[in-house]
Amino acid sequence: MKDAQPRAIYLKDYQAPDYWIDTTDLTFDLFEDHALVTSVLGVRRNEDHGEDTPELTLVGIDLELVSVCVDDTELTPAQYIQGSESLTVPVASQAFSLTVVTRIRPQENTSLEGLYKSNGMFCTQCEAEGFRKITYYLDRPDVMSKFTTKVIADKGRYPVLLSNGNDIARGEFDGGRHWVTWEDPFKKPSYLFALVGGDLEVVEDTFTTMSGKEVALRIFTESHNIDKCDHAMVSLKKSMKWDEEVYGREYDLDIFMIVAVDHFNMGAMENKGLNIFNSSCVLASPDTATDASYQRVEAIVAHEYFHNWSGNRVTCRDWFQLSLKEGFTVFRDAEFSADMNSRGVKRIEDATVMKTAQFAEDAGPMAHPIRPQSFIEISNFYTLTVYEKGCEVVRMIQTIVGKDNFRKGSDLYFDRHDGEAATCEDFVKAMEDASGVDLSQFRNWYNQAGTPVITVTDHFNPSSRQYSLTIGQSCPATPGQDSKLPFHIPVAIALLDQKGQALPLNEVGETEQVLQVTAANETWTFDGLTEKPLPSILRNFSAPVRVNYDYRREDLVFLMKYDSDGYNRWDAGQRLATEVIQDLVKGLLKGEEAEIDSKLIEAFGVVLADEQLDKAVKTEMLRLPTEASLAEQAEEIHPLQICEARSRVRKAIAVAHKNQIQALYQTLEQKGDYSPEATEIAERTLRNTCLGYLSELEDDSQQQLAVDQYRSAGNMTDLRAAMSAVINSSYQSQETIDALLNDFLDRYKNDSVVMDSWFMMQSASPSLGTLEHVKSLLEHASFDSTSPNKLRALLGGFASGNMKQFHSGSGEGYEFLADWIITLDKQNPQTASRLMTPLTRWKKYEPVCREHMRKALERIKAVPDLSTDIYEVVTKSL
Ligand code: PHE
Ligand code: ZN
């Protein structure tokens, strides 16, 4: 029997396992309608556990039990207990071997957890708790075992058979079947297990490590995609080199493999030596991938590779420690990307994700600390908080202890815990021990949810020539945490004089200082100033907090021009634009025609004209805050007014600066072959940003520009930018739009990854992506409701990317999403659960939307037999 109601598990209840599994020998016999799994476990009692436990309980889900043997003796059903999700066997000795044979049905597994099929290929996904869908096991990360895996399958259909580690033997059977045995010399938890069987092609390369060892690199895909692996391979080699240079980490096996699969719940998975990737995160060619996808491939290849140390060699003791591997690894990949591309832009992008999506999560019903204290379903905790805020927490440690100490701390951490399952506390302790810096108060970041707010006030005393900055901190209540202890927040500041120069803040003339904010309220005093400076606060987004400081709009314009910190320069523009748009929203709600503050329009003109400004940063500065960001910062969300106000400001900028934008567009004319190199990307992005603005103009020649760019585009970046400009324009004819959509379809209907973008461009379009249109796309031949990528493109594009259409009508968009969530919950609960996010924010919306969203949630909640995934999100949300 399943529990009537799913129950939460708590970090405070953690106990080491009663048994260890030293060795795991698996044999997979793969057939067309089932797979037979034979598991031979070398089990040993955990001697640290005082009391002897007379039995061993393994977990397993959806398994057909065939037989159980203890040390060569087969047990009768009376000798073991089979629960709905467990198997309990009697134990008579300290160490024994347990053989369990189970039958599973990969072909029917639509959850994409455990062993399943994607486009005819067998593949696995075991993090977090998917291994229990393969065989009975101690499926928890603190049980680490040496795995040997034999895979047997039909040779014609599945010529390639892969698992973790090195292939040590292979052979053939009569009847066209063949087998390969893989041995992974490193102990690992079950969540890092992987297996692949399919008809795949391979791209090969090698990498020589710093100690001179040659590693074979192999990327596997279906044959029609084999020409799109070069970028992933280049990225992999760069990652391997970078991890040696920056962290001193060398790769440890003879082979490193990546396999691309189309059906995958997440981005990619770091299985030891055999990473499995969502196709969309590996494949790239100039014709099929945008600049953004190129950078995403590079970042994700790096992320998964870096997990080999931060995640695999040192893994997590339990799933409450998830941020130990994810926060740290995101930090590592962010630094890698910053080194490979534009550091300034990477910081702006990451801060944007934090400030729009993560802050929203931290302010919503699912808010949790980066180390949660409890959960019902761990799959719901692969969140922006655990990943991105976790990364920011690691970054703050680096800021506080300094770069050199950070590296010493990381060395100490890897050294101390190599081969172990560690905790977040182990990480912080290593940083503390290596640096000698006290991080006691800093640990609050691991325990407390919510986004802290710092409130800054200042005072200048001309007679004493002293300037003081007072910083207060607070943190809003979050579920289960009404009051919070003060955080240790590193706040980087500079003080600008009237010419925009940063003033020296100490004897050595440093112009930036990191204030260690630890108290609820504290004042810093700076001496010897002749005039009141303008503070530049939280430079480089030095902490994941909100900043309250009463900037006048002219101050923001000033910072946009002069702040030497790229992030703050950009942020000043975002603040200004947000205030101006908020004014318009207020006006719209009162039925008034509010004027657009000309300061913003002028400031954008200055940015456009600034020839010194780095092109990549310029592009960021020319972007208005997204609708999601405006919603996050609103007290009450009025979605339609936000869309309307933002769109008016965009048009006003285009009208005011038409000539300048046009000129800029022309000077950035593309030449030569595509390359994903940073300076070229910057030019393309800027040019396409200009195109977006020009398409706001009611002017035939401007409208023609996008169509011409579509026709002449030499790469996917320019093609897609043109397509979006056309689709989102209110001045294009339906005929033109349809012609382009059909042309795109013709060219790319066989490329699943590109087709995702075809669906997404439409579902996320405020003009084209109506509910009716989205519904019609569900019927399209290229749509596949078993593919998480397609669902994310079409349903996610609509519900998370199309504020105007999703929230218009009388709640029909919400009902539509709710219907899909209910259907998908039976098929793939993880994907269903991720689609819930927009509805969970219902309390922040204006009353009409709010009530409709609540009803949609209530309807989901009333469905019998919800998955733990949906159950947790819906009950916490209501
Ligand atoms: N561990 C993966 C990563 O961050 C993410 C993932 C989690 C993938 C769960 C699949 C399932 O790299
Ligand atoms: Zn990860």
- Give catalytic residue positions: 304
pLDDT tens, position by position, 102-160: 999 999 999 999 999 999 999 999 999 999 999 999 999 999 999 999 999 999 999 99
Average pLDDT over residues 754-760: 98
CB 251 within 8 A of CB 237: no
pLDDT at 630: 98
Instruction: Name residue 139's amino acid.
Output: D
Which of 113, 270, 276, 277 should be mutated for ligand 1, with most atoms under 8 A from CB? 270
Helix axes 700-712, 658-667, angle to 10 degrees: 20
Closest ligand 1 atom to 264 CA: 10
Cα torsion angle, 204, 315, 400, 458, sign: positive
The C-alpha torsion from 130 through 311 and 380 to 350, rounded to 10°, is -140
29: nearest Cα among 106, 133, 113, 114: 106
862, with CB counted inside 10 A (0-12, 13-18, 19+), is: exposed
Burial class (CB in 10 A: 0-12, 13-18, 19+), 536: buried
Assess whether pLDDT exceeds 90 at residue 633.
Answer: yes
Which atom of ligand 1 has the smallest separation from the CA of 330? 4
Distance from chain centroid for Cα 139? 24
Cβ contacts of residue 499 below 8 Å, gap of 6+? 562
What pLDDT is stored for residue 203 in this prediction?
98
Token pair of 66 as six digits: 């065939």
Q: Does the beta carbon of 222 lie inside 6 Å of ligand 1?
A: no
Determine contact, residues 697/654, Cβ cutoff 8 Å: yes
Which one of 239, 269, 308 would you pick to mutate in the ligand 1 pocket, going by the greatest count of ligand atoms within 8 A of its CB? Answer: 269
Q: Whose CA is nearest to atom 6 of ligand 1?
A: 269
Ligand 1 within 6 A of CB of 350: no
CA distances from 481 to 425, 484, 697 (A): 21, 7, 49
Neighbours of ion ligand 2 (CB under 5 A): 326, 329
Q: Counting beta carbons within 10 angstroms of the beta carbon of residue 380, is it exposed (0 to 12), middle (13 to 18) or buried (19 or more)?
A: buried
Residue 786 confidence class, pLDDT cut points 50, 70, 90? very high
Asked whether 266 lines ligand 1 (CB < 6 A), one says: yes
Q: Is the CB of 304 under 6 A from ligand 1?
A: yes
Q: How confident is the model at residue 5 (pLDDT cuts 50, 70, 90)?
A: confident
Mean pLDDT for 489-510 is 96
Find the ligand nearest to 192 CA: 1
pLDDT at 176 over 80: yes
Mean per-residue pLDDT, 11-39: 98
pTM for this model (two decimals): 0.98
C-alpha–C-alpha distance, residues 163 and 182, integer Å: 6
Q: Determine whether the shortest distance from the Cβ of 580 to ligand 1 is under 6 A.
A: no
378 Cβ inside 6 Å of ligand 1: no
**Average pLDDT, integer, range 706-711:** 98
C-alpha dihedral over 538, 543, 544, 549, to 10 degrees?
A: -30
User: For 411-455, what is each residue's pLDDT tens digit?
Assistant: 999 999 999 999 999 999 999 999 999 999 999 999 999 999 999
Burial of 474 (0-12, 13-18, 19+ CB in 10 A): middle
Q: Tell whether ligand 1 has an atom less than 6 A from the beta carbon of residue 225.
A: no
Q: Read off the tokens for 29.
A: 């016999």
Report the alpha-carbon distance of residue 674 to residue 540 in Å, rounded: 31
In the chain, % of residues over pLDDT 70: 99
Give CA–CA dist 380/265, Å, rounded: 12
pLDDT category at 347 given cuts 50, 70, 90 is: very high
ipTM confidence score: 0.99
127 lines ligand 1 (CB under 6 A): yes
**Atom of ligand 1 at shortest range from CA of 307:** 12
Is 90 exceeded by the pLDDT of residue 49? no
Taking Cα atoms as reference points, which of 495, 489, 482 lies closest to residue 454?
Answer: 489
Using one digit for the tens of pLDDT, what is the confidence trace for 600-632? 999 999 999 999 999 999 999 999 999 999 999
203 — phi, psi (to 5°)? -110, 130
The whole-number average pLDDT for the span 498-517 is 96
pLDDT band at 1 (very low <50, low <70, confident <90, very high): very low
Contact between residue 330 and residue 303 where contact means Cβ atoms under 8 Å apart:
yes
Q: In ligand 1, which atom is closest to the CA atom of 113? A: 11
**pLDDT confidence tier of residue 50, bands split at 50, 70 and 90:** low
Distance 191 CA to ligand 2 centre (A): 12
| Residue 342 pLDDT > 70 | yes
Question: What is the whole-number distance in angstroms between the Cα of residue 563 and the centre of ligand 1?
Answer: 38
**Ligand 1 contacts CB of residue 388 (under 6 A):** no
Tokens of 826: 């039976």
The closest residue, in CA terms, to atom 12 on ligand 1 is 269
Residue matched to tokens 């300034």:
344
Distance from residue 775's CA to the centre of ligand 2 (Å) = 34
Confidence band for 715, pLDDT divided at 50, 70 and 90? very high
Mutating to test ligand 1, I would choose from 112, 129, 190, 266 the residue with most ligand atoms within 8 A of its C-beta, which is 266
Distance from C-alpha of 766 to C-alpha of 844, rounded to nearest angstrom: 21
Q: Is 291 in the pocket of ligand 1 (CB under 6 A)?
A: no
Pocket probe mutation, ligand 1, options 193, 336, 382, max atoms within 8 Å of Cβ: 382
One-letter amino acid at 303 equals H
Contact criterion met (CB below 8 Å) for 371 and 443: no
User: Going by CA atoms, what residue is nearest to atom 11 of ligand 1?
Assistant: 127
**Looking at residue 4, what is its pLDDT?**
67
Both tokens assigned to 69: 């043997």
Mention every residue, 6+ apart, whose C-beta is less than 8 A from residue 445. 369, 370, 393, 396, 487, 488
Average pLDDT, the chain: 97
